[in-house]
Amino acid sequence: MIFDSISYSINDKHILRGIYLKLEKERIIGLFGLNGSGKSTLLKIAADYLSPTSGSIFIDNINYSYKNHDERYSFISYLPQNTFLPKDVKVKTVLNWFGNSKELIEDSHIVDQLNKKVFNLSGGELKYLELSLLLSLDKKYILLDEPFTGIEPKFIDTMIERIRERKIKGTGILITDHYYRYVSGFIDDGYYLHDGYCKKMNLEQGAINSLINEGYLNSK
Amino acid sequence: MFSYLFIRYLLISIIFSGMIFIVAVIDPADMIPNNAVITISGFGGGIIGILAISFIFNRGNLWVLYSNLQKSKFKYLSLNYIIYISGTILINLISRII
């Protein structure tokens, strides 16, 4: 999946300027940046919820910028920042929609919630459920916008394990999250968004050091 | 999934509008003066309006849900418009009958 020269502007304000990014299968890319740097905007463009001012999205060498929305989703799945599940349905109904995959029905944390309505889940439980649902789908590319928000640490570890499993199965994953300590531990490549530009991070010097150098973290 | 959500929303709309209809229009005990009927019908319309809004807020981001499951965008749009249009028609019908 290639983000080719993606630019996005609102009212003459340049959010993204000619972004080039390549998401390969069996790779995990971490996208970092300060609040408002355009991380979510870039994911929304990839997920076809925003149209770029210029630039194209290529999937397997085919330009999907002008293709049908549904066609693009035969390759990708997308976790937005905000919840996407209807609130007044039961968890078991939602699992049914997603095909009751083995990893879902064997997850004791989800099984415990089967008869609860989505509305009654806490923010962390809901995020855990949504992330689990998306990772159960067999797609070539997964776009995750702040997937760990609200999830307790031991379950973040479970999710990281599932993300790694998905990678081994051949999926390319693009993830953005402010939980940099978790994310930097399992990514293959890191990119830093600043002032509309996307810069590849030097992970050899350590992701944390690289984030300090970029001004994302304080040096102390 | 489409029919599940649609039937669920539609049934709740019908139940509530039916209750309002019975109280405000049939008025079995003949206790409500005409102006009160108008007031109640307005109140009923308000409830339906609030319900329609609450459905819209309760639905989550159906577009993302439908996209991830590769369900047709047509169905997503249909669901939204059917909820909106059926709510509008019900409010109109009640106000015209009364």
Interface predicted TM-score (ipTM)? 0.86
Count the domains in chain B: 1
**A148-162, B19-33, B54-68, range with greatest mean pLDDT:** A148-162
For the cut 60, the answer to whether the pLDDT of residue B76 exceeds it is no
Q: pTM, whole model, 2 decimals?
A: 0.79
For A98, the closest chain B residue by CA position comes to B69
DSSP string across A39-54:
HHHHHHHHTTSS--SE
> What are the φ/ψ torsions at residue A78 (nearest 5 degrees)?
-140, 125
Residue B56: its chain A contacts at CB < 8 A?
Answer: none
Query: Which is higher by pLDDT, A110 or B79?
Result: A110
Question: In Å, how far are A42, A210, B93 from A38, measured between CA atoms?
Answer: 6, 19, 47
Top residue of B65, B68, B77 to mutate, by most chain A CBs within 10 Å, is: B68
Can you tell me the mean pLDDT for B83-88? 64
The pLDDT value given to residue A209: 85
Residue B64: its chain A contacts at CB < 8 A?
Answer: 47, 49, 78, 80, 84
Least CB-CB distance to B68: which of A49, A77, A86? A77
How many residues are given for chain A? Answer: 220
What is the least distance, in Å, from the CA of B61 to any CA of chain A? Answer: 4
Q: Is A82's CB within 8 Å of B61's CB?
A: yes
Least CB-CB distance to A85: which of B8, B60, B67? B60
| Range in A4-13, A24-33, A161-170, B80-89 the model is least confident about | B80-89
How many residues are given for chain B? Answer: 98
Q: Is A86's CB within 8 Å of B4's CB?
A: no
Helix (H/G/I), strand (E/B), else coil: A177: coil
Can you tell me the mean pLDDT for A61-77? 85
Cβ neighbours for A174, distance < 8 A, ≥ 6 positions apart: A1, A21, A23, A28, A29, A31, A43, A46, A141, A142, A143, A144
Percent of chain B having pLDDT more than 90?
A: 0
Least CB-CB distance to B65: which of A49, A74, A84? A84
Q: Are A207 and A181 in contact (CB under 8 A)?
A: no
H/E segment holding residue B75: helix B73-97
Indicate the burial class of A166 (C-beta count within 10 angstroms; 0-12, 13-18, 19 or more).
Answer: buried
Tokens of B56: 């819209």
Can you tell me the mean pLDDT for A57-66? 87
Give the separation between CA B28 and CA A202, rounded to whole angstroms.
78
> pLDDT band at B95, cuts 50/70/90?
low
The pLDDT value given to residue B12: 67
Q: Are A172 and A58 in contact (CB under 8 A)?
A: no
The pLDDT value given to residue A143: 97
The pLDDT value given to residue A186: 92
For the cut 80, the answer to whether the pLDDT of residue B78 exceeds it is no
Give the separation between CA A34 and CA A76, rounded to whole angstroms.
25
Q: Are A139 and A75 in contact (CB under 8 A)?
A: yes
Give the separation between CA B15 and CA B6, rounded to whole angstroms.
14
Neighbouring C-alpha atoms within 13 Å toward the C-beta of B11: 6
What is the least distance, in Å, from the CA of A209 to any CA of chain B? Answer: 36
Set out the domains of chain A in order of their start, with CATH numbers.
Answer: 2-214 (3.40.50.300)
Query: By residue range, what is the domain housing residue B13?
Result: 2-97
> pLDDT band at B36, cuts 50/70/90?
low
For the cut 70, the answer to whether the pLDDT of residue B34 exceeds it is no
Amino acid of residue B11: L
DSSP string across A94-136:
HHHHTT--HHHHT-HHHHTTTTSBGGGS-HHHHHHHHHHHHHH
Residue B83: its chain A contacts at CB < 8 A?
Answer: none
Percent of chain A having pLDDT more than 90?
A: 65
> pLDDT band at A198, cuts 50/70/90?
very high
| Range in A72-86, A124-138, B65-79 the model is least confident about | B65-79
- For chain A, give the mean pLDDT: 91
Q: Are A82 and B57 in contact (CB under 8 A)?
A: no
Chain B residues with CB-CB distance to A under 8 A?
1, 4-5, 8, 58-65, 67-70, 72-73
The pLDDT value given to residue B43: 58
Tokens of B1: 């999934």
Query: Which is higher by pLDDT, A7 or B15?
Result: A7
